[in-house]
Amino acid sequence: MEFLTALAEHTFLQIAVAAALLASIGCGVMGTYVVVKRIAFLAGGIAHSVLGGMGAAVYYDFDPLGGALVAAIVAALLIGWVRLRWRAQEDTLIGALWAIGMAIGILFIAKSPGYQADLMSYLFGNILLVPQQSLWFMLLLDAVLLLLVGLYHRQLLAVTFDEEFARLRGVPVTFFYLLLLVMVAVTVVLLIQVVGLILVLALLTLPAAVAGHYVHSLGRIMLLATLLGSLLSVSGLALSYQPDLPAGPTIILLAGAVYVFSAVFIRLRSLRQVHTARSAQSSHKEEP
């Protein structure tokens, strides 16, 4: 309740809620692809190598968000290209890029006077400090993502579902696979605003994973994951407000709790269904 009164009063809270909602669109739509295509580790590599771009941008006095976007796209293309060329080394390369990107970022930030404090906010995000002009940037990124998914959802589905078959049907698999990774990279940059780059992976995967427990088509998972993401990030923000906890970790813990609860619930439900089916079978046998 106190959060609601504060929300009405303070502009920074309104901006925070708007940022959470804008980030949820990206996390719902692209998180769905990440979960069904099983590229969470790859998304993690992109997210962490982003620190390199942010550090360089801070050092040379550019907009960190712009630096993050460039670094994310370069990392996505590099990882995607290597995966398509040399399948076997994919995970090693992602691990290397993960660490190298972070190391570059930390070196740059260490050499930028007065910016040390910002390191924490890049790593863990600070949704309460999102500047107003970032909202427009986030809105633009969301619009681009939704436009691309709207235009190319069938190709993206074909490439996510069955690359070999898509290739045989003449779909340019390399192009759409790289496009998908670039879109994931853009989403990572969106989410860094809210939860920071260390926690991006959780917000990218958990809402879509929970949604996947209950609905079974890509479109529906996207919709439900966006709603869940909005709900989780805004209520995490509200929960963190009164006891003055950092918002990012609160949001992630809430999302994690919902995921674990949902996974256990689904498991118990399927066990009970098997049990009911078995007892129905055995009672049939006893009848004659």
Partner 1 sequence: MNDQPLIDIRDVSFSYAGPPVLEHVDLQVREGEFLGIVGPNAGGKSTLLKLILGLLEADTGRVRVLGRRPADASRSLGYVPQYPSFPRDFPISVEQVVQLGRINARAPTGWRGMLWPSRLSRADRLAARTALTEVEADDLAQRQIASLSGGQLQRVLLARALVSDPQILILDEPTANIDQRLESDIFDLLRELNRRMTILVVSHDIGFVSTYVNRVACINRTLVCHHTDAIDGQVIQDLYGEKVRMVAHSH
Among 107, 135, 171, 258, indicate the residue that binds partner 1 (CB under 8 A).
171
Nearer to partner 1, 166 or 210 (CB): 166
Q: How far is the CB of 156 from partner 1 (least distance, A)?
A: 10
Residue 155 in the binding site for partner 1 (CB under 8 A)? yes
State which of positions 29-48 bind partner 1 (CB under 8 A).
36, 38
Nearer to partner 1, 108 or 177 (CB): 177
Among 22, 69, 221, 251, indicate the residue that binds partner 1 (CB under 8 A).
221
162 φ/ψ angles, rounded to the nearest 5 degrees = -155, 90
Residue 114 in the binding site for partner 1 (CB under 8 A)? no
112 φ/ψ angles, rounded to the nearest 5 degrees = -95, 110
What are the tokens at 250?
């609160």
Which residue is associated with the tokens 């006891």? 243
| Piece of 4-12, 150-158, 183-191, 235-243 that binds partner 1 (CB under 8 A) | 150-158
Q: Cβ(203)–Cβ(196) under 8 Å?
A: no
* Nearest residue to 94 via CA among 102, 179, 174: 102
Residue 4 in the binding site for partner 1 (CB under 8 A)? no
| Piece of 85-93, 151-159, 184-192, 276-284 that binds partner 1 (CB under 8 A) | 151-159
Residue 166 in the binding site for partner 1 (CB under 8 A)? yes
Q: Cβ(122)–Cβ(54) under 8 Å?
A: yes
Instruction: Give the angle 54-196-184 at the CA atoms, nearest 5°.
Output: 80
Cα distance between residue 143 and residue 135, in whole Å: 12
Residue 282 in the binding site for partner 1 (CB under 8 A)? no
